[in-house]
Structure 1
Amino acid sequence: MKRLIEALLFVGLALGLHVLVAMRGPDDGGTEAAGAGGEAMVSLAAASASVETMVDSWDAPRPPIQSSVTPTVAPRVSQQVPLALPRLDLPPQRALTGVALPLGTPAEQSPPEFDRSTPKPVEPEPTLETSAIADHSSPRPMRRPIDLAQRQRRDSQSEPKSQQPAKTESTASAAVQKQRAAGAGGSAQAGAAGSAQVKSLGAAREAQLMSVWGGQIRARIESKKRFPKGARGNGRVVVRISVTTTGRITGARIARASSNPLYNQEAIAAVSRADRVPRAPKELTGSSYDFNLPMDFSR
């Protein structure tokens, strides 16, 4: 703006000078000398007071132009308080403790046979019960066994009651008292004296031993279980295994299959990886025993 005013002022002055020169017109007698001593062609005169005032107003510093733009304030975002989720009181899970394998060189035996074929999923049926295979030299009558999972739950309840029958049977099978026989004719002849001890294992005591041994076998196989890749959801497989008293698995098959074949294959693979399990208690004298082992898969 200042430059525009200055340009208009100078243009006006130039036009004024031209008008003054034109009004004077040409002089036939030549150009008059002007200025000091008559040497200059043009005489310069001082500007008027109005012109000086105008020039001073142009040269005066102008105040800075204040911007009328109002700054925009960002809206405040309300902080959302996270909702407190309800806590679920879940029962503590009991960790399965590993069982140390017995040291020593096992006798050469035939390798166990594992049924790796995946059976078709069947409808839920009652869990097969645990049974003991008695030795051929001393056949025993078949009993009604209890499933491994149920036997572990009843172990703590039946232990105080099972001690009394076992104590009674051991008392009844104590040593036989000495027998004496007197001869005829007044001659006393002492007969041969002897003692006999009969070992017997009650059903309650055997059930307790089977429960403890079965828990050790289950812990050993559970430590070898892995969650199969690509499997989804939960599943349960019941595997029937045959174990000798030395802790060798001689056979395994699926007693109750899961709807997911990956769980069935992993259950057999876990038994195969376990190979050997803890030995049986000394009171169990059978050649081999069968167990129903439930295996749960969840993620």
Structure 2
Amino acid sequence: MRRLLDIALFVPLAAGIHVAAFGIASGPMGGAPGAGGAGGEDLVTLAAAPHSMAELARDWARQPAAQTDLAVPDRPQAAQAPRLPDAERMAAPVREPARPARPELGEVPPVAEMPPRPSVSRRNASLPGPREAPHADGPSRPDHAPDIASRSSPPPVTRNAPASEPQQARRAKGTEAVPQAGQAARAAAAPSLSSAMRGQLRAEWGGQILGRVTRHHRYPRGATAQGVALVELVVDREGNLVSARLLRSAGDATLDRAALATVHRASPFPKAPDGLDRARDSFAVPLRYERR
């Protein structure tokens, strides 16, 4: 504000000073009155400043009044934020899902009682009889055990030697029932053994027969083939050979004849054990022939 007042004051003042200086400089040249003659003097023309210039000079010289009371502009009030609704009101109520109604259970029918199980006594259960160990006195069994096949045999035949005349006379007196009583006692004692025990005794007897055949077995002279011949032999209780036949050929006639001859050379065989009640039994004996 003060700078604007200075400019407005000094511009007209400077202009008036320049005009006055220009008038003084142009007076002698224009031939102003009273300026001629030998004793002339320089004349200065003074002119009053305009009224507006005088007021402007007074305003410029006057000190501005100090402003004591300054109006403080009112501070703008901060805009209040809109009030948010309460969180409790905004939260929607959570509805619990409806629980299905529990079905009503009817009365459970009573369970029928199970009849008690019959008690089974272990003592009454039939157990196989113990097997007896093979006799140590018997010969050792070979590598190939015999195939023992039990076959039905006719009823036992008792061979009685021709009795002398004194014996026949004693039989006539009533002593002929004594041998029949011995046979009946042996027949009554035989069924007391179990089937397992009888099978064990038959296997031991067959092992003894096989061992005897093996001791007489040899490769025939002049033969060049090799194979295994299976021979079936029937032996009575006394160990006598009843019959022998070829069950399976060795693939060579010479070997088959040698197998049958070996069985006949090995007889008679050991007697049957006391526990066996059959009059005769059959056994299958394999004979292997290999060139060495």
Q: TM-score range by the shorter chain?
A: 0.3 to 0.5
Determine which structure has the larger helix proportion and give its number.
Answer: 2
Bigger RCO (CA 8 Å, 6+ sep):
1
